[in-house]
Amino acid sequence: MLRAGLTLAIALASIAALPVPAAPGAARPDAGRPDVARPDAGAPVRTAAVPAVPVQAVPIYGGALTVGLPYDIDTLNVYSTAELGDIEAAVVEGLLVPDEHARYVPLLATEVPTLENGGIQLTRGGTAMRVIYHLRPGVKWHDGAPFTSADVKFTWETVRDPSFLAESKDGSQDVTSIDTPDDLTVIVNYRAISPAFASTLFTFGILPRHLLEGHDLNHDAYNQKPTGTGPFKVSEFRRGQYVVLERNPFYWRRDAQGRSLPFIDRVIFKIIPSSNTMGALIRAGDVLLAPRIPYMLAKQLQGARNIELVSGPSLGWVHLDFGLKPGSRLRDPVLRRAIAQAINRAALVKASGGYPQAIRSPIVPLLEALYDSSPEALAPAYDPDAANRALDAAGYPRGPDGYRSKDGVALNFWITTRSGEIDGEIGEQIIMAELKAIGIKVSADNKSGIAYREARYHGDFDLLYSRWVTAADPVYSVFYGSHGPLNGQGYASADLDAALERMETSLEPASRRAAASDVQRILARDLPAVPLLDMVSIAAKSARLENFSTNPTNMTDFSGISRWYLDPPTGPATARAAQPPDERTPMPLDERAAERAAGGAP
């Protein structure tokens, strides 16, 4: 029996108050939660609830926020990008959005659909469903055209179109039809129960029908300069250098005190792939915000003047994937298990500055409603002696050089991570050394940009040291399903597909938990990948940036950018008004100079 008021984001019940990771060596505040034991960790880690975003008495309008991004921008189309979509989150909007506590809240919709409010209705005898969205009136696109239900339907039609080469079409295949009885009502008909509906299609962003209908979205100018309903609009995109956003003066949203949003005038995203360069620019005040910085850079920035480190949990994990295409020696489960046993997660934690925690399941412990901590549901723990014994017994003897072989073929593999990511490259070196200790030779084959993306999604690797970040209600079939769009490994399991189907089509918490346990146990048995670390989101920001908070989901920190504001640089000449730009006089020349000196526009 379904309980009244159950929402389809049912897995979120366990993460309503996510723990905030403390800096290494810092005291962890006690919020009354029980100690959480971590796999491969020593003493239990004490956690605390995420604090509410502080509300400032008089936020200040104006200023330019310079953001450092460590990756190049492939596209600004939220459905096509291989990255998380930091810039897109400030430009385009979905019907719902996960907040800093990973709870879905309404955005372009007026409420989150639930069974209780009638927004979710079961159909076909409880085997399918429809979801009803009521849209916000008066919302306009950046060009002034009205946002309507026709745009929502057009988004679904476009994303599901086989000719559109989207990075992911999550959720589009689950919908059979969409009805739009009026401009502000959307009725989405699903072919089956879809508990994770909120984490896919309509949360990523809505496309403007009046601008894109009849266009080839694979090659449209929209990909470089998207039109959205968000707080900022794209004014300039220099590939490989920067993207400039300008305040949307007609943005529909207001804060709790009725003030028009956003507060910031301009956002400049600079592409800075070097961690050393990023650190120098942060210290110099030329970068005012760097999201998701490497752990080692965070450690270096601790105590730096006028720089604040903001950490928060992340629904992501670091993992070592095996290339399992036909002919790969890694299809031998004995070899995969030995590799898993050779990796010391404690060494990876230490090399990461002590920020992340060791894990042994892709369903991270934060997802308490789904996580199974029983030994059978966890990947092998560190045990190099057992790894050596297993390889000896399986006919992989060591040669004179200390490396193993079988049938005259040496155990010699390539490991790939993204070039320039210091955390990934350090972790890669640790894994290479640990596999050498059990007689497996591993060499680095790192890639960047499109080359890395192609290798990752098409399985052009032996070993891949990488990470995933999920939505607030994760859909694991995209990673490990036999036909998952992000499964480039060549892994396929009918047992896992069936368990994923049960997990991702049930509304009952008990049924979902049981299916999730089956998913963990099958992955622990088959080991297509070795889960290694959870992820902690650490941002380095200027003390001038207020109201900032991290977001633990794949919707990125910038989903909350409309509330952020900048304190002015010190000095009476730089004081800014507390009114939005259309209600205040232009910024004086001396203030513009001060903004540039403080790390404003280029």
- Judge if 512 and 384 occupy the same domain: yes
Q: Name the residue range of residue 327's domain.
A: 315-537
Confidence (pLDDT) at 7:
37
Residue numbers in the chain where pLDDT is lower than 50: 1-56, 571-574, 584-602
Task: Give domain status of residue 20, yes or no.
Answer: no
Burial class (CB in 10 A: 0-12, 13-18, 19+), 328: middle
Q: Are 502 and 313 in contact (CB under 8 A)?
A: no
Q: Which two tokens stand for residue 409?
A: 């073929």
What pLDDT sits at residue 380?
A: 98
Q: Give the per-residue pLDDT at 393.
A: 98
Q: What is the reported pLDDT for 579?
A: 67
Together in a domain, 381 and 494: yes
Task: Answer yes or no: is 388 within a domain.
Answer: yes
Phi–psi pair at 101, nearest 5 degrees: -105, 10
CA distance readout (Å), 81 to 186, 339, 566: 26, 32, 29
Q: 266 and 125 in one domain? A: yes
The whole-angstrom separation of Cα 202 and Cα 200 is 6
Tell me, yes or no, whether 385 and 362 share the same domain.
Answer: yes
Domain presence at residue 572: no
Quickly count helices (H) and strands (E) in the chain: 15, 20
Q: Same domain, yes or no, for 436 and 327?
A: yes
Residues 342 and 486 in one domain: yes
264/324 same-domain check:
no
- 361 and 453 share one domain: yes
Residues sharing a CB contact under 8 Å with residue 550, sequence separation 6 or more, in sequence order: 100, 291, 310, 311, 312, 314, 537, 539, 557
Are 387 and 408 part of one and the same domain? yes
Q: In the prediction, which pLDDT does 57 show?
A: 55
* HSE-up of residue 276 (Cα within 13 Å, Cβ side): 1
Q: What is the CATH number of the domain that holds 502?
A: 3.10.105.10
Specify whether the CB–CB gap between 55 and 346 falls below 8 A: no
Q: Give pLDDT, residue 265.
A: 97
CATH number at residue 239: 3.40.190.10
Q: What is the pTM of this model?
A: 0.77
Would you say residue 33 lies in a domain?
Answer: no
Among 537, 557, 591, give the residue marking a domain's end: 537
Residue 423, in any domain of the structure: yes
Structural domain total, the chain: 2
